[in-house]
Structure 1
Amino acid sequence: MAEFLTIGEPMAVFAAEDLDASLVDAQRFHKFLAGAELNVAIGVSRLGHSADYISAVGADPFGQYITKAIAKAGVGTRYLSQSDHFWTGFYLKQRVSQGDPATYYFRKNSAAANFDQKNLDQIDFTGVKVAHLSGIFAALSANDLNVLKDLTQRLLAQQILVTFDPNLRPALWASRQQMIDTTNELARQANIVMPGIGEGEILMGSRDPNEIADFYLQQSDVTQAVIVKLGPDGALIKQRDGHQQVVTGFHVASVVDTVGAGDGFAVGLISGLIEGHTLSESVKRGCAIGALAVTSPGDNDGYPTPSELAQFYAAQAALSE
């Protein structure tokens, strides 16, 4: 049995080692395991919780590498199928000294984009406390959008807490409007929605955290809380019962790579909720792991073990004295 469940597309990422070189000019790359939802599963597992990952890979070297790497990270692979007909996605990522790195994806018509919906019948929901979904899987194909909707209904029927991160990837959608409409539709079926400020502006037209939160709370009675990520400044929590709070964030001395910070936030939130912490305490942990994530080059290399998280809290407390 697993405490945590998620679905997504796993990929191999080739991260450039040449600082501030374009992807055209970079010569040296390092291979990592990647995928937004997979990042969350790995982070939750690293904190000592059982996690299962639902997806598909091709019968190719990337698929074999990903399967081995997921298992090595302690994430369950019983729902990771292998396709003989479709390939495994991968992407290139720039290394930059500041800002967000450029990326380039090779994922069209991948094994994950052709996930067999019948595989959902194999899932054992016993013991699952939290399931995490994102807009990325829905953007891969019309097939995967149907899969995600089906899975969401199964989760809600089992009264499993569903968290949703928009995780906008405009390049994957046929149009901007389709991305907006579909992402907001998916958010309606989540118990907790966690957009960023920039995502809120795209999805509902405002950068005001309160307006973003109100939009998603008013969309659906299913949504009980909205957490608007504010970057280093923390996050706004707004709940259906009227409770509202801004949780302060953490600042780090050096930012190496911003990719994976949002997934790190989800790791903290979800692991805190699994452990029975309050929503506020869980969001605080999310801010901490999001901050740790930007200090390492890999998409999930900065996610901590319990002892490393305790050390980070201690170091931050010492700085504030």
Structure 2
Amino acid sequence: MEQLDIITFGEAMAMFMANYPGTLHEVDQFTRELAGAETNVAIGLARLGLRSGWASKVGNDAFGKFVIERLKNENVDIDHVLIDKNYPTGFQLKSMVLEGDPEVQYFRQGSAASHLMSDDLNEDYFQSARHLHMTGIPLALSDSARAFARHALSFMKKNGKKVSFDPNLRPTLWATQEEMVKEINEAAFLADYVLPGIAEGEILTGSKVPREIASFYLEKGVELVVIKLGAEGAFYKTATEEGTVRGFHVEKVVDTVGAGDGFAVGVISGLLEGLTIQEAVSRGNAIGSLAVQSPGDNDGYPTKAELEKYLENNLQGVI
């Protein structure tokens, strides 16, 4: 089996983006794209030249075929994508906005991905990768998807692999906030790298202070915590070092969706390539800033050459 740099898993959906501003029920023209936090990360890493794989289930339908073909075209390994003949691929509608966050409506309940279960996990496939990137979304999809996620996390840790974890909170998918916080933190405590946003950090730890949020996870055995601060950049902390890395100036924010996943792409790729933490976080800030300048969830993610050129032209992003 081919060796991979990184594996991620979760739900992919067809996304229909409005072609002009307005409320979703009024828009009658959309452009189809791919959505999914974990597919965003897999695509971003593949564009940077890393061997990334994505594991999941899709329906035996047009949307499922679209997901598979799109990932193939992005050079993401899909050998662990299962076709489910009983349940459909989810989709979503996304509005166009001139500023701020877009409106998104999901049609994902009962999807094929939500029927992932622990027995679906191919251990040989996961063993072939040196790193696992996980988000909190599969933990929220269903009990069986949560079991798959827990199995993947424990298997990779048991086999000495590094694990990064982005909480990617989706409160509407959880029965209660208390359950969400408990389950997300239990997974985060097992990870090597935890990458929350500042607002997520407050929900999960009760603190608004980046250093306190980071310490909360470091005390549980996490190796590195990087907290996204939006336009201000990001704060990182380990047992021995900490710092803030400035963000990159953006003239016009087009769409914020996918920026956090782009940030994860930068940090993870940097660490996998042996960059310093500060350099990896700066790369995360760079890709996040590129992501908010394009309408699709991953349209703005760069190739390695594009990233190097962007960094050369925007040295003010580095401390």
Task: Give the drift of 1:231.
Answer: 0.9
**Which residue is equivalent to 2:233?**
234
| Residues 249 and 83 (structure 1), Cα distance of their counterparts in 2 relative to 1, 3 Å cut | same
- Whole-Å separation in 2 of the counterparts to 1:121 and 1:127: 10
- Whole-Å separation in 1 of the counterparts to 2:128 and 2:81: 19
Task: Give the drift of 1:232.
Answer: 1.4
Amino acid at match of 1:253: E
Task: Give the drift of 1:189.
Answer: 0.7
**Which residue is equivalent to 1:273?**
271
1:1-321 equivalence runs, <5 A: 1-19=3-21, 21-126=22-127, 128-218=129-219, 220-221=220-221, 223-240=222-239, 242-317=240-315
- Whole-Å separation in 1 of the counterparts to 2:86 and 2:161: 33
Q: Secondary structure at the match of 1:202?
A: helix
- Whole-Å separation in 1 of the counterparts to 2:6 and 2:122: 17
1:37-66 CA distances to partner (integer Å, 9 max, x unpaired)? 110000000000111101000001100111
Unaligned 5+ segments in structure 2 are none
Q: Does the 8 Å CA contact 2:117/2:147 hold for their aligned counterparts? A: no
- Whole-Å separation in 2 of the counterparts to 1:121 and 1:310: 36
Task: Give the drift of 1:174.
Answer: 1.1
Q: CA RMSD in A?
A: 1.4
Q: Does the 8 Å CA contact 2:163/2:192 hold for their aligned counterparts? A: yes
Q: Does the 8 Å CA contact 1:130/1:270 hold for their aligned counterparts? A: no
Q: Does the 8 Å CA contact 2:247/2:317 hold for their aligned counterparts? A: no
In the alignment of these two chains, the number of paired residues is: 316
Q: Does the 8 Å CA contact 1:200/1:206 hold for their aligned counterparts? A: yes
Task: Give the drift of 1:317.
Answer: 3.3
Q: Secondary structure at the match of 1:195?
A: coil
TM-score by length of 2: 0.96
1:93-139 CA distances to partner (integer Å, 9 max, x unpaired)? 11111111111101111110001322213533455232100100110
Q: Does the 8 Å CA contact 1:236/1:247 hold for their aligned counterparts? A: yes
TM-score by length of 1: 0.95
- Whole-Å separation in 1 of the counterparts to 2:123 and 2:26: 45
- Whole-Å separation in 1 of the counterparts to 2:317 and 2:40: 29
Unaligned 5+ segments in structure 1 are none
Q: Does the 8 Å CA contact 2:282/2:317 hold for their aligned counterparts? A: no
1:46-88 CA distances to partner (integer Å, 9 max, x unpaired)? 0001111010000011001111111111100100000001110
1:131-190 CA distances to partner (integer Å, 9 max, x unpaired)? 100100110001111111111111111211100000001111111111111111111110
Q: Does the 8 Å CA contact 2:259/2:292 hold for their aligned counterparts? A: yes
Q: Does the 8 Å CA contact 2:120/2:148 hold for their aligned counterparts? A: no
Amino acid at match of 2:202: E
Q: Does the 8 Å CA contact 1:264/1:300 hold for their aligned counterparts? A: yes
